[in-house]
Amino acid sequence: MKVHCDIRFTNSTHGSYLSGQLLTGEVQIKLTEPKRFNEITLRIIGYTSVEWSEKRGQGKRRRTVFYSARRDHLSSQKVLFRPQQNGNPADLPAGEHIYQFACELPSSLPTSFEGTYGHCRYTAQVVLDRPWKFNLTHKVGFTVVQPRDLNLQSPSIRIPSRMEDARVFCCGIWRTQPLFVRLTVPCTGYVPGQAIPLTIDLDNRSTRLIEGVNMKLQQEVIYRAESPSPKFRRQVHTVVKHIGDGVEGESTRQYVQRLVVPTVVPTCGDQNLISVAYRLHLTVRVEGCGSDPVLEIPLIIGTTPLIPEQPATVAIPPPTVAADGASAEAGGFNFGNVPEQLPSASGVMRQSTLPPEYLPPPTYEEAMNAAAVVITDDTDTHAIGSTKPYVPLYPSYNFNDIQWPPLPPDARLPQLPLPPKQ
């Protein structure tokens, strides 16, 4: 190959960026001999595309309907090598040529995603326009992640969440005693690499055998098409799963389990053509006929983990000295009682966040079960350079080397016995 081209991102090792950041890089072109070009340009684009097909009708009227949608998010172009003033092609000497570039990524860019029925993709492409010949192209993909700081979400994600179910099983005219199920999590916001602590309480007052308890972290992807008519398609994936042991009839059991969130795309796409959401899914498999109890708790997977709020510390004023020299504390003040009059706001100190260095630095890794895709298309028939398969990279944390603080005690739900339900 007499022409070699390469695109490198200089401020990101793996080409991963947060929306709103500045993307910088350089284009390297190597020529073994002088070449003539009309123009050399760099194009940076980002878009979301959705497409699938469905069968409609019966018999001779059966047909295939194609649903699709496309939305452009980013379009930037820079001329790296300009033609001569008169518009004629210009010669580029042999050797190595380096061109710097930069692009400000809008803060509204959605997160990169590669799915079964669509993708949100960002690419940088060099186009070498040659006179009287096919254009040469070189394309690479990069990842954009819409930041989701859990500390800036609704305060409700800090509140422990609990779901309960009571089930009575029937066989003819006979009815069993109820089965009570409770699922509890300390909060509903997590990041990849963090463990979700689950507490499952089973009070099996029936004689039915509980064969097992399936605990899953599920990912729900919704694709939205706009043509020929608005329509959506849903996919549900099990991200991580654990199966608990069974429970005999007329007995109780408590499971305390941790599900570690693998590297996955953060919750995203509320206003985009592709949206991703997560939930805890619990299924209690009961022997015999009847429906199994199913409990679900929605979760938010973010890019910055929750930092536990520190309790407010009240500065108690020093004891005053009476005229006779006795301390006012001797007048019956008991330590720990609430004073009749709280100190002014200047005496209250609250630390709502911990220093940034307390958090482990995130690493960008391939998503679980992510498949590499080829980002070239029909317009890249004369691609040059090494074309590597593209896989989005998402942030993940390693909490093994630090002691992540627990939630404050007052934020925990009391562990009360399951109430009898009719």
What's residue 171's pLDDT?
Answer: 67
Question: Could you tell me which residues are beta bridge partners of residue 397?
Answer: none
Q: Would you call 60 helix, strand, or coil by DSSP?
A: helix
Mean pLDDT, rounded, for 293-312: 84
Contact 90, 128 (CB under 8 A): no
pLDDT band at 333 (very low <50, low <70, confident <90, very high): very low
pLDDT of residue 315: 43
pLDDT at 291 over 90: no
| Distance, CA of 283 to CA of 165 (rounded, Å) | 11
pLDDT tens figures, 190-234 = 999 999 999 999 998 888 888 889 999 999 999 999 999 999 999
**What's residue 173's pLDDT?**
66
**What's the mean per-residue pLDDT of the chain?**
81
Q: How far apart are CA 218 and CA 234, in angstroms?
A: 13
Q: Do domains 3-147+360-396 and 150-301 have the same CATH topology?
A: yes
Residue 245 to residue 210: CA distance in whole angstroms: 8
- Strand bridging mode 161-167 / 363-366: unpaired
**Quick one: tokens of 303?**
């890019």
CA 277 → CA 124, 222, 239, 351, 366, distances in Å? 29, 9, 12, 31, 18
pLDDT in tens, 22-66: 999 999 999 888 888 888 999 999 999 999 999 888 888 888 999
Q: Which CATH architecture has domain 3-147+360-396?
A: Sandwich (2.60)
Q: Which two tokens stand for residue 182?
A: 């409770």
Q: How many CA atoms lie within 13 A of 54 on its CB side?
A: 12
Tokens 């930037």, located at residue: 76
Give the list of residues 6+ apart from residue 1 with CB closer than 8 angstroms, or none.
Answer: 384
For residue 188, the Cα-to-chain-centroid distance in whole angstroms is: 13
CA-closest candidate to residue 364, choices 16, 11, 109 = 16
Strand boundaries in 361-409, DSSP class E: 363-366, 393-396
Tell me the three state secondary structure of residue 61: helix
Q: Per the structure block, which two tokens stand in for 190?
A: 């997590």
CATH of region 150-301: 2.60.40.640
Domain residue ranges of the chain, discontinuous segments joined by +: 3-147+360-396, 150-301
User: Could you tell me which residues are beta bridge partners of residue 63?
Assistant: 56
Burial group, residue 152, by CB count within 10 angstroms (0-12, 13-18, 19+): exposed
Note if the pTM is more than 0.85: no
Distance CA 20, CA 12 (A): 14
